[in-house]
Structure 1
Amino acid sequence: MARKIMGVVLAAGASRRFGARDKLAARADGEAALVLRSAKTLRGLGLYKRAAITRSPRLPKELRGAGLDFLCIGAGRAQSASLHRAIHAAQASGASHLLIVLGDMPEVSRTHLRQLLRTPGPHPMMATSDGRLAPPALIPRRLFGAALRLTGDRGAGALLRRTPDLRRVPLPPGTLRDIDRPEDFHNAPQ
């Protein structure tokens, strides 16, 4: 059976460590906003559906024209609320898998996502780089129920790390770097 994959950018974080500005709207070296860069990585992958999970029902101007469905969880919700919203959308759409991409990981490219999606089998998958296991991640439908039981500030990684058939997809060094503070833009690997 062919996989029917829904891709989702998680972009509902509060950006508390970033200061007064919204980090997902921040630009690095004059390039597109972080969240738009992440959204663009989902294009051209043959995904069944594409969406972004946001805090606000207002369409973020950085994502206009990105071709995504927007799913709002509201402000002040725990990290697990974003995952739950993504899982519910994947279930409702009939997706066989959910591809999770974070809105604050500028080094993850479409090529990296293709590498993850080319890994054969019905297994859950997570990227690994620099000794770190992190999104992007591919969650099969059989784990949707377990993912909905996660609570608080926990993402799917807590579940996937315990899954015996997890496939680890190696990515180049520095790929899984995320942006938490303004200085992280300047601490990019060379």
Structure 2
Amino acid sequence: MKGRIVGVVLAAGASRRFGARDKLAARISGRAMVQAPARALSGLGLSRRAAITRTPRQPHALRGTGTALWSVGHRRPQAASLRRAVRGARATGASHLLIVLGDMPGIGRAELRALLRHGGLHPAMATDGRSLAPPALIPRRIFGPLLRLRGDRGAGALLRRRPDLRRVPLGAGALRDVDRPEDLRPPRTG
């Protein structure tokens, strides 16, 4: 896909359901959880990679991933992180914004490449065949509506209503979202 694509890891959530520990620093396969989506953004030919964090200090878990930090501040609703990502992408002249969540350790380059192949003029979002979930690829023409979102709403609510949305099938393991400590356990098979 041609264009100036900015990839952003949303990593500013309060993680209330996870308890007192820093969820994004939780170890999965020997690495902090947030490192998997941050590293997946490398090698995709993106014009810029960034992470939305609560503070302007780089979290230890993101060191060495090559991501810039765009701070949103403490105790901000979900939409504030998304708006910060959109403003950052718009400021760089991006044609698209590729959104990845910091608590989805199953996301890799192959999944993100699949989204990039289905983008273009239309937004694209991942599906496991039953429901839609991040990651998502959003063209610049949708940045305005995203900037109007408020509260604890992400891009999904807006994208799901679009008739031009491209649904990109990804495996359920790739779309695993970690919200609670028990979600760190490997999924049961069989």
Q: What range is the shorter-chain TM-score in?
A: over 0.9
User: In the aligned structure 2, how far is the partner of 1:165 from the partner of 1:33?
Assistant: 35
Give the number of aligned pairs.
189
Shift of 1:173: 2.7
1:118 counterpart residue number: 117
Moved more, 97-106 or 124-133: 124-133
User: In the aligned structure 2, how far is the partner of 1:182 from the partner of 1:100?
Assistant: 24
User: What are the within-5 Å matches in structure 2 for residues 8-157 of structure 1?
Assistant: 8-29=8-29, 31-119=30-118, 121-157=120-156
Q: Is the 8 A contact 1:130 1:174 kept in 2?
A: no
Counterpart amino acid of residue 18 in structure 1: F
Q: Is the 8 A contact 2:72 2:80 kept in 1?
A: yes
SS of alignment partner, residue 39 of structure 2: helix
User: In the aligned structure 2, how far is the partner of 1:120 from the partner of 1:91?
Assistant: 17
Could you tell me the TM-score, scaled by structure 2's length?
0.95
Structure 2 alignment gaps of length 5 or more: none
User: In the aligned structure 2, how far is the partner of 1:92 from the partner of 1:175?
Assistant: 30
2:183 counterpart residue number: 184
User: What are the within-5 Å matches in structure 2 for residues 163-182 of structure 1?
Assistant: 163-182=162-181
Q: Is the 8 A contact 1:42 1:110 kept in 2?
A: yes
RMSD: 1.3
User: In the aligned structure 1, how far is the partner of 2:188 from the partner of 2:150?
Assistant: 33
Shift of 1:57: 1.4
User: In the aligned structure 2, how far is the partner of 1:120 from the partner of 1:18?
Assistant: 33
SS of alignment partner, residue 125 of structure 2: strand
SS of alignment partner, residue 81 of structure 2: helix
Counterpart amino acid of residue 71 in structure 1: W
User: In the aligned structure 2, how far is the partner of 1:183 from the partner of 1:127?
Assistant: 24
What fraction of aligned residue pairs are identical, expressed as a percent?
A: 65
User: In the aligned structure 2, how far is the partner of 1:4 from the partner of 1:162?
Assistant: 25
Counterpart amino acid of residue 11 in structure 1: A
User: In the aligned structure 2, how far is the partner of 1:120 from the partner of 1:100?
Assistant: 13
SS of alignment partner, residue 73 of structure 2: coil
Shift of 1:58: 1.2
SS of alignment partner, residue 163 of structure 1: coil
Structure 1 alignment gaps of length 5 or more: none
Q: Is the 8 A contact 2:36 2:106 kept in 1?
A: no
SS of alignment partner, residue 34 of structure 2: helix
Could you tell me the TM-score, scaled by structure 1's length?
0.95
Q: Is the 8 A contact 1:127 1:171 kept in 2?
A: yes
Structure 2 CA distance for partners of 1:189 and 1:90, relative to 1, 3 Å: farther
SS of alignment partner, residue 51 of structure 1: strand
Matched, 1:5 2:2: no
1:127-185 superposed Cα distances (whole Å, 9 cap, x missing partner): 00151201100010000000000100000001111111000000123321100011101
